[in-house]
Amino acid sequence: MLDHGAPPQPGTPAGPPGGPGLGARLMRRKPVERLVAEGGHGEGGALRRTMGLWQLTMISIGATLGTGIFVVLGEAVPKAGPAVTLSFVLAGLTALFSALSYAELAGTIPVAGSSYSYAYATLGELIAWICGWCLVLEYGVSVAAVAVGWGEYLNELLDGTIGVTIPAALSAPPGDGGYFNLPALLVVLLAMAFLLGGARESARANTVMVMVKIAALVMFCAIGLQGVRSGNYAHFMPLGMAGVSAAGATLFFSYIGFDAASTAGEEARNAQRDLPRAIMLSLVIVTLLYVAVAAVAVGAKPWRSFTDSEAALAQIMRDVTGQSFWGTLLAFCAVVAIASVVLTVLYGQTRVLFAMSRDGLVPKVFSKVHPKTGTPRANTVIVSLFCGVLAAAIPLGQLADATSIGTLFAFALVNVAVVVLRRTRPEMSRSFRVPLSPVLPALGFGCCVWLMGSLSTVTWVIFGVWMAAGLVFYFVYGHRRSRLAAPETPATPEAK
């Protein structure tokens, strides 16, 4: 029996069923020990621990590298001019502060839910739901956004090899001159096929694709340097700091994914040791490559001549060399590279929904694990079809900004969570600790809020509608079906 004279363990129902008020129920927390104990287990099976540091790092790089450079660079340069390099640094610093917090929490709470699970353990169920709902926006919608850019580079490749392209009616969404973006749907379905084969097989395929994309960006820098003109850097910040900030907010989309390794916490062999290392290592590699490529791109092409084409790098290669071969080769590498982003981000989305489903906040179908492959098969199919249709029907720009605001909100919560857990559970073993806490988490939180404020009013309206829909779903479904709401929820075992 529960001793009502002793304080309840964090995350356990206080008093008899139905006793706590609404506020207490919304703030119920899931104990860290319980989160870790449930790790890997789903409906009808368990996830398999097959990944080491190398695979985890490749997941983070795969989910991150290429998105901003291959896809969004053409949109960001007109906002900041040559100072787009500073925009990448600004977005990278914002990501770094949050990455430090992610690294500490990933090593302390190595589970599949990423920031959703961290918020559940520290800030309460309602905040966790909001964070999880933002992750659905971050991962799910970014899959669709990146898939749209993949179609652009596929057309570049087809044009350079066989001289034909997919008609605009079938390669662009409504509003961008087409009716249905078939290539975007196809790349999502291709990623789905890899994920259904198992985590180990998906990680191997991703590693190959990541090496291709790194080679492609190094090749671009080597060849692009030949076309760099110092005059292109004149009037370095023509649109002022406001332009740098606006471009940084858009380019933050290019850092989405470094946290993808944290969604693999239940499939890592040594999660507490390897997750923090993978997160930090991937962010450093990605930031260095982004800044180098952006500097070469604006040096080789006047910033005013940039358009919002998603195939900007291939065009620069063609202009610099005067030959279509190099642009075609880069387009091929981009096709492979962006496919890896789709694969790894889609993986992260399915694992977040897996954790939310295990907690009862979304339907059980998302936590059903196939006994042979050790993957959430139904979850993967549902999410892939949703993202594929979204990619085929929505223009890229709207998707990128909507993804950025959801990500920034989730990152802000992670910075708060790491401070809260330090205060409430100081005795916990941590394989990585954020230096200068709470100063750096506070800076991470402030940078996220600042970049959110740089986004357009339309993006905020979309975000508000998304949040409102999420709250309706939570109060209609998740709040009542939460496993923490069940009277039979066992008390948390004491930490040993």
Q: Where are the chain's structural domains?
A: 51-481
pLDDT at 71: 66
The H or E element that residue 46 is part of is strand 45-46
pLDDT confidence of residue 469: 93
Close Cβ partners of 135 (under 8 Å, ≥ 6 residues apart): 114, 115, 116, 349, 352, 406, 410
In the chain, the amino acid numbered 11 is G
Describe the crossing of helices 439-453 and 84-108 by its angle, rounded to 10 degrees: 130
Pick left, alpha or beta for residue 322 (phi over 0 → left; psi -120 to 50 → alpha; otherwise beta): left
Sign of CA pseudo-dihedral 151, 155, 157, 162? positive
What's the pLDDT tens digit per position in 195-205?
988 877 888 88
| pLDDT in the model for residue 7 | 39
Q: Return phi, psi of residue 268, to 5°.
A: -95, 140
**pLDDT more than 70, % of the chain:** 88
Residue 42 pLDDT level (bands cut at 50, 70, 90): low
**Does the model's pTM come out above 0.75?**
yes
Distance from C-alpha of 366 to C-alpha of 377, rounded to nearest angstrom: 8
Using omega within 30 degrees of 0 as the cis cutoff, is the peptide bond preceding 302 cis? no
Spell out the residues 6+ positions from residue 423 whose beta carbon is closer than 8 angstroms to its own.
Answer: none
Q: 3-class DSSP state for residue 120?
A: helix
Say whether 79 sits in a helix, a strand or coil.
helix
Of residues 153 and 493, which shows the higher confidence score? 153
Dump pLDDT digits (tens) for 439-493.
Answer: 999 999 998 888 788 788 888 888 888 899 999 999 999 888 888 876 544 434 3
Q: Tell me the CATH class for 51-481.
A: mainly alpha
Instruction: State the average pLDDT for the chain.
Output: 81
> How confident is the model at residue 379, as a pLDDT?
93
d(C-alpha 385, C-alpha 19), whole Å? 42
Range from 3-12, 25-34, 47-56, 256-265 carrying the lowest mean pLDDT:
3-12
Residue 42: strand pairing partners: 45
Which amino acid is present at 331? A
Q: How would residue 2 be classed by pLDDT, with cut points 50, 70 and 90?
A: very low
Cβ atoms of residues 403 and 141 within 8 Å = yes
Q: How far is CA 21 from CA 30, 111, 127, 473, in A?
A: 17, 29, 17, 20
Cα–Cα distance between 189 and 279 in angstroms, integer?
Answer: 27
How far is Cα 328 from Cα 325, in angstroms, rounded to an integer? 5
Shortest CA distance to 330 belongs to which of 316, 342, 344, 309?
316
Q: Provide φ and ψ at 317, rounded to 5°.
A: -60, -40
* pLDDT 10s digits, 58-101: 988 988 886 667 667 777 888 888 999 999 888 888 888 888 99
Q: What is the pLDDT of residues 270-316, one digit of tens each?
A: 888 888 999 999 988 998 898 898 899 889 888 888 765 556 777 78
Q: State how far the alpha carbon of 370 is from the alpha carbons of 196, 243, 343, 357, in Å.
A: 9, 49, 19, 15
Amino acid at site 322: G
CA proximity to 290, closest of 254, 237, 242: 254
11: its two tokens: 């995350």
Of the two residues 366 and 160, the one the predictor is more confident about is: 366
13: left (phi over 0), alpha (psi -120 to 50) or beta: beta
Residue 367 burial (10 A CB sphere; 0-12, 13-18, 19+): buried
